[in-house]
């Protein structure tokens, strides 16, 4: 089972950009569906974006479509989340996850067996 670790979180002003990176160890991320979820303060964890296997479909939550981009770097065994035009409502702990979900389960947490420890993102003036 692959182990995941996120990096790149922090604080940003509205309209700014941040990039999160998820590095895998003990397995090749290209063999997994890799997703980003987030958990805003006091709320449940929610789906953000997913990359379905190497070179496959990308899926985004409506709330981030057009602002966030998920991408893979197989040489470094990472999956990144580029976040542009950040809004205060993007404030959350961001988690990367890996699994072997079917397409219809991409947005659900239950299909992902490996999770990172989380990276905080705060968007505020």
Coil/strand/helix, residue 30:
helix
Q: Is the pLDDT of residue 54 over 90?
A: no
Given a contact cutoff of 8 angstroms between Cβ atoms, the answer to whether 72 and 79 are in contact is yes
Q: How confident is the model at residue 84 (pLDDT cuts 50, 70, 90)?
A: very high
DSSP β-bridge partners for residue 24: 4
Q: Is the pLDDT of residue 56 over 80?
A: no
* Mean pLDDT, residues 67-71: 97
CA separation for the pair 101, 42 (Å, rounded):
27
Any idea which residue has 């397409």 for tokens?
103
Residue 76 has a CB neighbour count (10 Å cut-off) of 12
Higher pLDDT, 23 or 57: 23
Q: Is the pLDDT of residue 4 over 80?
A: yes
Structure tokens given for 23: 């590095």
Q: Is the pLDDT of residue 55 over 90?
A: no
CA separation for the pair 85, 48 (Å, rounded):
15
């Amino acid at each position: 089972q692959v182990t995941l670790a996120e990096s790149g979180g922090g604080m940003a002003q509205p309209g700014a950009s941040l990039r999160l990176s998820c590095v895998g160890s003990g397995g090749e991320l290209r063999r997994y569906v890799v997703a980003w979820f987030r958990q805003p303060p006091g709320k449940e964890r929610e789906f953000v974006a997913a990359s379905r296997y190497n070179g496959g479909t990308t899926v985004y939550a409506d709330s981030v479509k057009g602002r966030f981009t998920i991408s893979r770097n197989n040489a470094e065994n990472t999956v990144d989340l580029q976040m542009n035009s950040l809004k205060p409502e993007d404030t959350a702990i961001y988690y990367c996850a890996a699994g072997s979900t079917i397409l219809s389960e991409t947005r659900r947490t239950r299909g992902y067996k490996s999770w990172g420890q989380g990276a905080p993102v705060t968007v505020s003036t």
